[in-house]
Amino acid sequence: MTFYRQYGKRLLDCTAAALGLLAISPLLCVLALLVRWRLGSPVFFIHTRPGLNARPFSMIKFRSMTNATDDKGLLLPNAERMTRFGLFLRSTSLDELPELVNVLKGDMSLVGPRPLLMDYLPFYEDIHSRRHTIRPGITGWAQVMGRNALDWDTKFNLDAWYVDHFGFLLDIRILFLTAWKVFKREGISHQGDVAMPRFDEYVLSKRRTSEE
C-alpha cells in the first residue's frame, strides 16, 4: 500500500498514459478534425484548474460546446451551447481523452478527485481541501458513484473517502467501473442540465438558507 501510494500510482499513470496516447493517436486526430468541423475553433478547451496542493495547471479537453453568445456578447446557457455532437463527446467521455497528456506531464492521475474550478478554492472547508492532497484524476470514485447526478456534498464526501483509502486494487476497480459507466452513459447530466451547478453558488445558497 505504501509503495503504491508513493511510487506505484505514478508509475501506473506514466505507463498507461504513454501507451494509451500511442494507441489512440489516430482516434485523437479524427476527433480533432470532427470537433473543428462541427464546433469550430479552437479544437481544445484549455482551462486552469487546481491540482496537487492546489497548484494551478492547464487541463486539456476536446471542446464540447459552441461559443454562441446573446446580443450583449455574453455566453448563452450551457444547454443552448451544447450540440448533439458535443453531448455525444461528453456521454462517451471522448472529450476527456486529451487529459492523458496531463497525466503524462504529472498534472493529473488516471484516478483521483476530478479537478474543479479555481474560483471554488475560497469556498472550501477542510473536507473540500483534502482533495488537493493527491493529484486530480481523469476519473474517480465520485465519478463511478454517480458523476454529475450527485449533489456537491456527496461528491466531496466520496472524494475524501478516496483520499483515505486509495490503492492499486481500488484504482483498477474504478477504471473498470468507469468503462462500464461510459458504456451505459450514466450520470452525464445534473437534474436536466448538461453540467453541475457552480459550487460557489451552492455554498452561498446554503448560507442564505441557514440565515433565514
Geometric angle at alpha carbon 129, from 127 and 132, rounded to 5° = 125
Q: Where are the alpha helices (DSSP H) in 67-212?
A: 78-81, 84-91, 99-105, 126-129, 141-144, 152-165, 168-184, 199-211
pTM over cut 0.75? yes
> Does residue 195 have a pLDDT over 70?
no
Q: What angle do CA 155, 161, 166 make, to 5 degrees?
A: 120
pLDDT digits (tens, 9 = 90+) for 54-77: 999 999 999 998 887 777 778 887
Cα separation of 113 and 142, whole Å? 7
